[in-house]
Structure 1
Amino acid sequence: MGPRFFKNGTIVSFDKVTESIKVLHNASLLTSDDGIITAITTQPETLVLPTDTEIIDVTDKIVCPGFVDTHRHTWMTAYRTLGSNIILAQYFSWVSQMSKARNSYSAEDIYVSALAGYAEALNGGVTSIVEHAHHNWDHDVMMRGFDAAVDSGARIWWCYDIMATNESFSGGEQTKALLDLAVRHRSTRPDSAVAFGLAWDSLSFTPPDQVEPTRAIIQSLKPEVITVHTVGPGPWGSGNSPTLAHSYALLDSPNPPWIFSHGGFVTESDRAILRSTDNFISITPESEMHYGHGQFSCCDIQDQAALGIDTAFTFSGEIFTQARIWLQAERARRYNAALKTAIPDRCPMTVEHAFLLATRHGGRAVRRDDIGVLTVGAKADIVVFDGESPNMAGWTDPVAAVILHANVSDIRHVLVGGEWRKRDGQLILKEGQWEGLARRLKEVAIRVQEENRTPPELPDNIWGNPLTTPEVVDIRRGKE
């Protein structure tokens, strides 16, 4: 790999003392041959570069930390555009791992779909991903999904979700396969960017006397993070709440960090527990708006929140876009509340807050101070934006430029642990070429979507909770 020197750019670094962004103009950054940031300086002449250092001129460019996605399901990429108007009440029986649509995927299809999903993430500057791997209905499907993570070149916490009720691949068989895989991978790939986590979506359905077996799995697997979906309480039911997990003594040290995905209805008790145990929710802004999860109280725990994508087949797959959506949604919500009585006298959320949710808070969610920041000693996960594109030119504030003006085509370079994953606007896959992968994805997507084009009828209820019809928009002239 060799050391790399990014010369004369604007670096969006991080001040550990103030926990805030520190912008350095006309600055340079040096990475080591093992993928660590070793220097950030505005006086490059004071550095003695190793003789084999590669020098990359980043004049007029914005150098950012890699973005962190704390919730994603990459195996579903082949569904892209199938669910343009899907709602969450349809999702479970139509396209989820519990639906018949899963039978349309071979193990190789899962590999292609997941690998393309990781490529999309890297192309959009997402260097770290908490993968909620719920392709859990078949041994080979499970393994090929993991292979895609390894072959992607992204930094991944691979959190397999054991589905005990699966008849074709039992919970016991899944557990053994997962533990064996972890032992084998850790022994043969000790420097891998793929770490093991665990997803535990069955938590709320686990009787108290059955928690200990899963605790034993945690002790054996030693996951770096545990993640669950939580969409309750409220109309979705109680769900996998922080309060429930805490009642089983699962959140306090020395347990690994927990990420509660969505959290649109987290209670005051949940929020207090998240703060006291230093655990996080993953807000997936576009997903929750698209599907209708609800975003009622997640806005009250943003000090313990990071951002995620969820099912990228339905919408955009880059985190800085999610930060933009969340920022403007939060501004609108708080402005609207104020406007009921008076005119707002300040902006309720800053672009820096949005940037930190997309970067530093993702690192905090997995308890890694070397992820989601550009500091000496951090991983060399780096994204370089072109500051002279038509939509970026004229910027003076690099954080505002990225959060409010950038698009994926502005990303010139992406590195993970100092390794090129995108250079001069072109993806560099760890395995193969994008053109070949794109062709394979297209073949899988056409077949899978054709077999599952029509959604099943809506059920009468979801987990015993009734359905209702929202007010429907009609934009035709003369319609109220």
Structure 2
Amino acid sequence: MAKYLLKGGTVATFVQATNKPRAHKADVLIEGDTIVRIEKNIDDEPGVEVIDCKGRWITPGFVDTHKTVQGTITPEEVAIGQLAGCLDALNNGTTTMLDHFHAAHTPAHAEASLKATIESGARVVWAPDHLSSNTQLFPTLEFAKDTETLQWQRAKLTEWGANGGRLSPDGRVLLGLAYDRLGNGKEHVVPHEELLAEARAIPAQTITAHIHSAEQVLLWRDPGLLGPDVLFSHCCGLAGHTPLDEEAWRALKDSGAAIGATPEDEIGMALGHGLVVFDAVERGVKVGIGADTASINGGDMFTAMRFVLQDARHKEQHRIRAAKEALPFKYKYNSVDAFRLATLGGAEALGLANIIGTVEVGKKADLLIFDANSVNLAGADDPFSGIVFLAASEDIKFVLVAGEVVKKNHKLVREWAPVARELQKRAEDIRQRWPAEVLEGAWKKWYDANMN
């Protein structure tokens, strides 16, 4: 059992019991996958590897509550896309993610994704999408027979869930379910209640879906499908503050369901009325943030934290100026609020706050060690504002997941060059099969049929 002593650093974390941020000097002792002591001046012991943390910040790993790691076509492309996406997340300090996996076209696709996920070393709630409508945009991805596809997906769900949803021996990878079929206007051969009951009997860690409107939330509420294991992505349509929106907010709060917001792409893709992250905070609805699809925007949580915070400040300024009020001395939300969303908030949204999301005794050792003497951070005296406003992946010297060092001295432990070569080769294969003009035409056809 590996043992590490993180010595002489500054621990920056929320404290779960008080829900307050705390930054303090302390050593952190890790045994196996667990934090066992956090105290000043812990003595070295034989068999313990000491990591010098003087001039460094020790924080929880980031939790990404909505990520589509990849969505390519063949099982081989799925495998390299999945591995590269998970390693990219780890390099950027994301130790846990909810992967809304769209590419479960065949059992081979799904198994390739799962194998690569486990191989990456990340902590992942792996949620294959049940007959994802996103996979029906192009002919080669279209399900010929929903009934046939549903049959193998249900069988695989039972197989994957045989160990209570633990997909890796150490429980680092857990089974979830992505379910975008409710309310998409298609005929369903099996009732939603039956399919979701099967997932919950496993139990799947998280049931997730893309949700954009209050009407969609209520489609889940009315048949009693909401619950604390449900996480809805985006929910930007709830920013309208209509009576129907407020009804949906109450349904989320009463059921314990959560929201996984992705600030950068929600703004860039104009998803609804705007970001709803702090609307959720103010209503007591669990909420975390994420990066979504790395092929659309960056995959790091630093950008997500900055987007969500500055969006909230912009809205505050707009409201105050419209009301002709004086600008406040301080903003309502600040860096610790964004930091919480990316750590403890995300852990709560995934139902994992009992094991991750804070640096506390008894939690899993999913940790980041920042070099506070770096070019970006040397001028910062507060780790929370430093991480939210100034930090980048280059400032993360170590990343640990379940006590395993996956990034050391600013570099991934897993050799990246072979992964990059394979990724680039597979990407070029896809470009040859799907030239830009063909994709543009296919998307235009879909757009004209669905958006006009």
User: Is the CA contact (8 Å cut-off) linking 1:320 and 1:355 kept in structure 2?
Assistant: no
User: Is the CA contact (8 Å cut-off) linking 1:288 and 1:295 kept in structure 2?
Assistant: no
Which residue number in structure 2 is paired with residue 264 of structure 1? 236
**Secondary structure at the residue paired with 2:423?**
helix
Q: What count of residue pairs does the alignment treat as equivalent?
A: 422
**Given the superposition, is the C-alpha separation of residues 401 and 295 from structure 1 closer, same or farther in structure 2, using an over 3 Å criterion?**
farther
1-side partners of 2:381 and 2:418: how far apart? 40
Which residue number in structure 1 is paired with residue 316 of structure 2? 334
Does residue 1:458 correspond to 2:415, yes or no?
no
2-side partners of 1:6 and 1:414: how far apart? 12
Higher relative contact order (CA 8 A, sep 6+): 1
The offset of 1:332, in angstroms, is: 1.2
Structure 2 spans left out of the alignment, 5+ residues: 133-141, 239-244
The offset of 1:338, in angstroms, is: 1.1
**Secondary structure at the residue paired with 1:203?**
coil
Deviations 1:21-44 (A, max 9, x none): 11113x1111112x1111111242
Does residue 1:39 correspond to 2:16, yes or no?
no
Which residue number in structure 2 is paired with residue 97 of structure 1? none
Alignment of 1:2-401 (within 5 A): 2-25=2-25, 27-33=26-32, 35-45=33-43, 50-76=45-71, 105-163=73-131, 166-167=143-144, 170-183=149-162, 189-205=168-184, 210-233=191-214, 238=215, 240-241=216-217, 243-252=218-227, 257-266=229-238, 267-296=245-274, 298=276, 299-302=278-281, 303=284, 304-340=286-322, 341-345=324-328, 346-369=330-353, 370-401=355-386
**Secondary structure at the residue paired with 1:202?**
coil
2-side partners of 1:189 and 1:338: how far apart? 51
**Given the superposition, is the C-alpha separation of residues 229 and 462 from structure 1 closer, same or farther in structure 2, using an over 3 Å criterion?**
farther
User: Is the CA contact (8 Å cut-off) linking 1:14 and 1:375 kept in structure 2?
Assistant: no
The offset of 1:185, in angstroms, is: 9.2
Deviations 1:321-345 (A, max 9, x none): 2111111121112112212213311
User: Is the CA contact (8 Å cut-off) linking 1:75 and 1:145 kept in structure 2?
Assistant: no
The offset of 1:248, in angstroms, is: 1.7
- Counterpart of 2:259 in structure 1: which amino acid? I
What is the aligned-residue RMSD (CA, Å)? 2.3
**Secondary structure at the residue paired with 1:422?**
strand
Deviations 1:5-30 (A, max 9, x none): 100011113323320111113x1111
The offset of 1:396, in angstroms, is: 1.1
Which residue number in structure 1 is paired with residue 397 of structure 2? 412
2-side partners of 1:438 and 1:415: how far apart? 22
**Given the superposition, is the C-alpha separation of residues 435 and 322 from structure 1 closer, same or farther in structure 2, using an over 3 Å criterion?**
same
**Given the superposition, is the C-alpha separation of residues 453 and 464 from structure 1 closer, same or farther in structure 2, using an over 3 Å criterion?**
closer
- Counterpart of 2:221 in structure 1: which amino acid? H
User: Is the CA contact (8 Å cut-off) linking 1:285 and 1:325 kept in structure 2?
Assistant: yes
User: Is the CA contact (8 Å cut-off) linking 1:67 and 1:126 kept in structure 2?
Assistant: yes
User: Is the CA contact (8 Å cut-off) linking 1:323 and 1:354 kept in structure 2?
Assistant: yes
- Counterpart of 2:203 in structure 1: which amino acid? K
Deviations 1:427-460 (A, max 9, x none): 013xxx2110010001111221342412125248
**Secondary structure at the residue paired with 2:114?**
helix
**Secondary structure at the residue paired with 1:458?**
helix
2-side partners of 1:426 and 1:333: how far apart? 38
- Counterpart of 1:215 in structure 2: which amino acid? L
Deviations 1:390-445 (A, max 9, x none): 1210211110000000011111100000001100011013xxx2110010001111
Deviations 1:53-101 (A, max 9, x none): 111001001111000001111124xxxxxxxxxxxxxxxxxxxxxxxxx
2-side partners of 1:465 and 1:269: how far apart? 27
Deviations 1:194-218 (A, max 9, x none): 1001111002247798223213422
User: Is the CA contact (8 Å cut-off) linking 2:180 and 2:209 kept in structure 1?
Assistant: yes
The offset of 1:279, in angstroms, is: 1.7
Segments of 4+ moved more than 4 angstroms: 184-189, 206-209, 459-465
**Given the superposition, is the C-alpha separation of residues 187 and 311 from structure 1 closer, same or farther in structure 2, using an over 3 Å criterion?**
closer
- Counterpart of 1:16 in structure 2: which amino acid? Q
**Given the superposition, is the C-alpha separation of residues 261 and 69 from structure 1 closer, same or farther in structure 2, using an over 3 Å criterion?**
same
User: Is the CA contact (8 Å cut-off) linking 2:165 and 2:202 kept in structure 1?
Assistant: no
Which residue number in structure 2 is paired with residue 88 of structure 1? none
User: Is the CA contact (8 Å cut-off) linking 1:75 and 1:111 kept in structure 2?
Assistant: no
Which residue number in structure 1 is paired with residue 139 of structure 2? none
**Given the superposition, is the C-alpha separation of residues 201 and 129 from structure 1 closer, same or farther in structure 2, using an over 3 Å criterion?**
same
The offset of 1:464, in angstroms, is: 5.4
Deviations 1:113-164 (A, max 9, x none): 1100000000000000101111122221111011111111000101111108
The offset of 1:348, in angstroms, is: 2.4
**Secondary structure at the residue paired with 2:376?**
coil
The TM-score, its normalising length taken from structure 2, stands at 0.88
- Counterpart of 1:150 in structure 2: which amino acid? I
The offset of 1:184, in angstroms, is: 7.0
Pick which of 319-328 and 198-207 moved more. Answer: 198-207
User: Is the CA contact (8 Å cut-off) linking 1:331 and 1:347 kept in structure 2?
Assistant: yes
Pick which of 408-417 and 129-138 moved more. Answer: 129-138
Which residue number in structure 2 is paired with residue 85 of structure 1? none
**Secondary structure at the residue paired with 2:169?**
coil
Pick which of 444-453 and 457-466 moved more. Answer: 457-466
